Amino acid sequence: MSQQITKDMTFAAVMKSHPDAVKVLARYNLGCIGCMGAQNETLEQGCGAHGISVDELLNDLNALFK
């Protein structure tokens, strides 16, 4: 079964899920590596706070697993 990233995952969990996840987040100007909130903030929360479409981000992140 292939892995899937969901909007309720924390940024920390996403960054651990695939080595290139950080690159995808960086394309959206999400500097999650140095952010203290990455441990607890979900993708949905972070995207909402930064005005980013969580669905677009999820599509790009999940493309890493195809």
- Size of the chain, expressed as the number of residues it contains: 66
Whole-model pTM: value is: 0.90
- Report the share of the chain in percent with pLDDT over 70: 97
Q: With contact defined as beta carbons under 8 Å apart, do 9 and 27 qualify?
A: no
Q: Going from the N-terminus, what domains does the chain have, and what CATH number goes with each?
A: 11-65 (1.10.3910.10)
Question: Per-residue pLDDT for 32 more than 90?
Answer: no
Categorize the per-residue pLDDT at 1 as very low, low, confident or very high, splitting at 50, 70 and 90: very low
Categorize the per-residue pLDDT at 33 as very low, low, confident or very high, splitting at 50, 70 and 90: confident
